[in-house]
């Protein structure tokens, strides 16, 4: 730290946090070691602002911290019981919307949705499950696409567009029918130019995109979130 350009500050939960022009509240918080829960945000890509876990209260008004530019005199409340309770409700919504069966999921222990649920003290899904029928696409020789676990964060969409330059993924449908689609007339991942080496193959916060023949290579109990809290992992630079 200590860059002279960063003379401006905001406060987050009473702590002074410096920022430079163009930084969002989330950028400034991450740089200062202040954790704001998030799922659809990854500093490597354009901010999105859809999961709403990172909503904070700015001078009494709720704002999405990953898209809201920081500005002088912002008094931000982040780690409050009220906000964390609302965030827990959002995670519960994501759990009942999709079909997330943690004990049977290869991503268990590496899954940010699961880790966020632990972080926010979620003990049950609370809401009624939707049990929406969603497809599993195993057509690609190296990669599974399991839409049961997709939380529509669009990280793969952004990674494929911004880093891989491929546009393998997109979003179609509307409302509860919103769904991830792939760039092929057949609708099958195997008919796209997606590769296991693509950035987009490694950014899914859940287990919707899985590399084949890697299952349980790291046993349960030795996985990322078995050792560390999501608040530590997401603060590490270049985490996946």
Residue 176 Cβ vs other proteins, minimum distance, rounded to whole Å: 5
The angle, 0 to 180 degrees and rounded to 10, between the axes of the packed helices 112-119 and 81-97 is 140
Two tokens, residue 188? 């099958």
Residue 157 Cβ vs other proteins, minimum distance, rounded to whole Å: 8
Q: Which of 8, 52, 134, 202 binds other proteins (CB under 8 A)?
A: 52
Please identify, among the stretches 43-51, 193-201, 220-228, 229-237, the one whose residues bind other proteins according to the rule CB under 8 A: 43-51
Can you list the positions of beta strands (E) in 80-165?
136-137, 143-146
What is the distance between the alpha carbons of residues 123 and 119, in angstroms, rounded to a whole number?
11
What is the distance between the alpha carbons of residues 114 and 34, in angstroms, rounded to a whole number?
21
Nearer to other proteins, 62 or 197 (CB): 62
Nearer to other proteins, 27 or 106 (CB): 27
Nearer to other proteins, 51 or 209 (CB): 51
Residue 14 Cβ vs other proteins, minimum distance, rounded to whole Å: 22
What is the distance between the alpha carbons of residues 186 and 143, in angstroms, rounded to a whole number?
17
Applying the rule CB under 8 A, the residues between 76 and 95 that interact with other proteins are 86, 89-90, 93-94
Half-sphere exposure of 190 (CA within 13 A, CB side): 9
Binding site for other proteins (CB under 8 A): 47, 49-53, 55, 62, 64, 67-69, 86, 89-90, 93-94, 96-97, 127-128, 130, 151-152, 167-179, 181-185
């Amino acid at each position: 730290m200590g860059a002279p350009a960063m003379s401006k500050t905001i406060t987050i939960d009473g702590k002074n946090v410096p920022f430079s022009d163009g930084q969002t509240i989330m950028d400034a918080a991450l740089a200062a070691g202040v954790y704001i829960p998030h799922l659809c945000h990854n500093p490597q890509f354009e901010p999105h602002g859809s999961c709403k876990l990172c909503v904070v209260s700015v001078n009494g008004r709720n704002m999405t911290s990953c898209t809201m530019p920081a500005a002088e005199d912002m008094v931000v409340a982040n780690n409050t019981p009220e906000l964390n309770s609302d965030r827990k409700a959002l995670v519960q919504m994501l759990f009942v919307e999709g079909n997330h069966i943690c004990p049977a999921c290869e991503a268990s222990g590496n899954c940010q949705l699961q880790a966020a649920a632990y972080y926010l003290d979620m003990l049950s899904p609370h809401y009624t499950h939707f049990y929406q029928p969603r497809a599993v696409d195993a057509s690609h020789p190296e990669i599974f696409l399991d839409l049961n676990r997709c939380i529509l964060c669009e990280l793969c969409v952004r990674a494929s567009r911004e880093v891989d330059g491929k546009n393998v993924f997109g979003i179609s449908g509307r409302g509860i029918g919103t769904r991830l689609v792939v760039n092929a007339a057949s609708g099958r991942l195997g008919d796209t130019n997606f590769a296991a080496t693509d950035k987009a193959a490694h950014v899914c916060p859940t287990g919707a995109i899985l590399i084949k023949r890697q299952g349980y290579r790291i046993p349960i109990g030795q996985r990322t979130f078995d050792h560390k809290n999501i608040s530590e992992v997401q603060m590490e630079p270049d985490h996946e």
